[in-house]
Structure 1
Amino acid sequence: MHCRKSLGANEAIEALPIGRRIAFDARQGRLWVVCRSCERWNLTPFDERWEAIEQSERAFRDTRVRVSTENIGLARLADGTELVCIGAPQRPEFAAWRYGDQFGRRRVKAIATGVGITAAAGLIVSGAVASGVGLVALTPFLHMLNVVGFVSAVGMAQKPIDHPDGGRFMPIGNPRIIPSDRAAGWAIDIGYAAHYHGPDPTVRNGGYWSMARNQEGKNELGRVQLHGADAVPLLRRLMPLINRGGARRTVINDGVSLIAQAGGPERFGQWAVGMRREWAAKSTFGDTGDLSAIPAAARLAFEMAINEDAERQALAGELASLERAWAEAEGIAVIADALLVPDTITAQLDRLKQP
């Protein structure tokens, strides 16, 4: 799981020369490279992890300049590489380290962008008034600026997503959380403008894009429902856009508290479905279940929950692959051991095992 920004390089950790900020949890065997552009924590591949964790631990212990709490420490190495050592923190403390910079940077960027747009609009209005142009005449122009800003942000998410019935689809509009009759208990409902059909969704040859159509054959927006884990790839793309305004540390802590109320990241989606009516009663805009209209702390909690639950599933997948590898090795060992035992002894053992 990774972002697509440049992560930089370091000369301090030989087993992991990628990244200028590296976070590690030796107890759980986790290693992340933190993107200094978006502050996203990118989980490293399993086979590259253990030696890099050991080297990071040694480098952290040998570094004098460090900032630390009881469970989390930050050290800056001689080449400027930063190491974040994770101990056994409580969820609020871990969230403050992991998401505080990320949401805080978005908030600063959003404020700066808002100030810049306001200043530019003010100059345009002032110049227009000085030139004798009425404010009413400027309304379409200011509306166009607002639309362009919205489209440019949403356009970042307009990339194909795997369709549950095969092929891929182009999402459009705001995602809505809805109840599901499947095991997950929740799903995401979203519109789409086109669906790609083909034997291999990653290859364009042999497939085709088709517009969603109604019964009369006219183009219209289709709807698709992604249940539980199937919705995570879409949410990992859309939630940073929905939360692009960032948040203060207090709102982040409120989001962490909501995850605790839900019983953990893996249960947050199902818990959020049960909160739709309560959130809708407090909302002054948006549709019921629209993720852009739920409370700010809940939006942040959703982004945190899908990231942490995705990592949990990735680690579970690694353990499952290790279990399969162990079973195969055990089977081979049984066969190898049997090759050294004479058939007469094997037959005698089989007779002794019989009741």
Structure 2
Amino acid sequence: MPGRLTAPRAVPRAALLALLAGLLVPVGLVATAPAAQAAARVSVANPDGDAVVDPTYATTLTVRGSGFQSVQGGHGGVYVFFGTVSSGWQPSSGGRTGVDYFYVPDSESADNQGFQKYVAFPGSDTASSANGGLMGPDGSWSTTVTVPGAVFTAYDRSSNERTVDCREVTCGIITVGAHGVANSSNETFTPVRVADLYDEGDALAEPAAGTGGGAAPSTAAPGAGAAAPTAEAPVAAGPATLEVDRAGAVAGRALPFRATGLPAGQQLSVTFDDGAAAAGPFQVAADGTMAGVVTLPADTSAGTHELRVFGLEEELAVRFAVQADESGASGEAGATETVAASTGDPSRYAVAFVAAAGLVLLAAVARLLLARRRAALR
């Protein structure tokens, strides 16, 4: 009959499921698509272009990184060391220096001996102390690291000496988050080989500063002229003393120190609170003085603490008061770093939004189709 209303035909169950599946697949693809981010990679090359260090003489390695997580304006950056690691060494997994990984010690000052480098994030508040340059916005960087030889002396958590022989264990370039910020995206270990690179007469046979026992590497470049022999360095007269910048003794900050009356030419280190922090080795000047800085742990409690010179026959230490960081600069900087590391690519928020919108649309279409089917069955 003209004009008569007819009930809508029932939607077949198979067609309904097919339609739902068609809507679900693209939404699922959008929701699970990972943000593109290259993994951190490090390349190492000596002057000949190989990842090889000499067992006896110092080797300068050019180290290049790519795919690292770069945090614009973030506190810190990446430390670049030469050393050895064990299983589970990464700080983000609970690994600790002096237990799970060891490296050639050096001061944290910008003009250190080149055994350690600090690469700062672009715009970092600590960029002025970056002796390894700045990281690019794309996570790329380049620096050089001096390897004193196959044998070096490191320190464990109790400031006890430990000799590392890279002819017996695998050594290489280590990168970790700087200034106590653990970041798994920037933790890498790139092994190198040990092999003779120079003839015996090509380099000076002077020990490299800070290498400790074992072989006697040289920091002099091969082919350099031999220096004239000098008389034995004099020992400074007077009792040994150690003093710190008491006004600058704040948790989480670098603490300058100065010692006098020390044996000239000796390599010494300093330890804070029996290994909570350490720095060095530092070479005593001809006048018996030694100066440097040590970074106090951010979690150092307010109160009296101790700095000790390690490597002397007689104990030399100073006790002083450490203040809490009232400004909260260390904590805020760390929080900024953590947030930046966890958020990653902002496009992830867009992916999540599209996925949520797709699910809402899917639910609405399903309800509409079910309502039509119920009406058809009445």
Q: Which has the higher strand share?
A: 2
Q: Same fold (TM over 0.5)?
A: no
Q: Which has the higher contact order (CA 8 A, sep 6+)?
A: 2
Q: Which has the higher helix share?
A: 1
With the length of structure 1 as denominator, give the TM-score of the two structures: 0.26
Of structures 1 and 2, the larger Rg is shown by 2
